[in-house]
Amino acid sequence: MSKNNGLRQGMQIAFRLGTELTVATLIGALLGHGLDRFFGTRPWGLAVGIIVGGAAGCLNVYRAAMLLDMEDDDDNNS
């Protein structure tokens, strides 16, 4: 059961980090696309937006992972 528990937690973490990255990239792309429509600068806004969004996603994943690390330490200490 404990092994199953570990697997489930691993899946949860993977899902959590996965959504962070995907959502941030999508938001960046959408913002870029919106700016393109507004200023008529196709396709540069989209390209820059995806890169910025990907960077933001990596940042979010890094923060979420640091948080997980913190929880892990708490578990080990208690």
Partner 1 sequence: MESPLHHFEVHNIIPIHIGGLDLSINNAVVAMWVGLAIVAGSFMLVVSRGVSPIPGKLQSILEIVLEFIRNLVFEFIGEEEGKKYVPFIATLFLFILACNLIGLVPGSYTITSQVVVTGAFACGIFIMTLVIGFSKHGLGFFCILVPPGVPKIMIPLMVPIEIVSMLARPISLAVRLFANMTAGHTILAVLFGLAMTSPLWVSWMPFGFTIIINGLEIAIAFIQAYIFTTLTCVYIGDVVKLH
Q: How far is the CB of 29 from partner 1 (least distance, A)?
A: 10
Helix axes 2-39, 44-77, angle to 10 degrees: 150
Type of residue at 64? A
Which residue in the set 34, 67, 69, 73 belongs to the binding site for partner 1 (CB under 8 A)? 67
The three-state secondary structure class of 1 is: coil
- Is residue 12 close enough to count as binding partner 1 by CB under 8 A? yes
E strand or H helix that includes residue 59: helix 44-77
Binding interface with partner 1 (CB under 8 A): 8, 12, 15-16, 19-20, 23-24, 27-28, 31, 52-53, 55-57, 59-60, 67
